[in-house]
Amino acid sequence: MKTKEERTLPYLMTIIFYYLASYLLKQLQISPIFYYFILGATFLIIITLIINFFWKISIHMIGIGGMLGTLIGLSFLWMIDIPFLIILLILCSGITGFARLKLNAHNPVQVYTGFVIGTSFMLLLFLVISYY
């Protein structure tokens, strides 16, 4: 999807399905971590949709940044030491960002902004829930 206009409907559909998934996970009475992860991903897609009306941003980097933020947040929440996984995900983030730039799908600002938004939002989400 090269243009912003092509992305709107897929984003809306994804938001609906992710919200339904978060609702079902809440009803299943399983670990709330799954619920918060899907709910956070839903909000990230909503943020992406809003940004998409004005500017093209890398959803790939938002997604991989969200995974990194989740891992870092869970390492604080559960007090576990997972540097190997975090470093591996940072490497994957770099490869993904490089690929998006090499394909001329995005400019550097779109790639870096997507990564920062994804990482910071999910990290903040898991840091906030760790206090409740």
pLDDT tens string, the chain, 132 residues long: the values are 777 889 999 999 999 999 999 999 989 988 889 999 999 999 999 999 999 999 999 999 999 999 999 999 999 999 999 999 999 999 999 999 999 999 999 999 999 999 999 999 999 999 998 877
Distance of alpha carbon 127 from alpha carbon 40, whole angstroms: 12
DSSP type of residue 54: T
What are the CA-CA distances from residue 40 to residues 24, 106, 119 (Å)?
15, 24, 11
Which structure tokens are listed for 66? 């969200």
With a CB cutoff of 8 Å and minimum separation 6, the contacts of 95 are: none
Q: What is the pLDDT of residue 47?
A: 97
pTM of the model: 0.92
Query: What domain range includes position 8?
Result: 4-129
Q: What is the pLDDT of residue 30?
A: 85
N-terminal to C-terminal alpha carbon distance within the chain: 40
Q: What is the pLDDT of residue 40?
A: 97
Distance of alpha carbon 78 from alpha carbon 99, whole angstroms: 33
Number of domains in the chain: 1
Task: Give the phi and the psi of residue 79 in degrees, each rounded to 5.
Answer: 50, 55
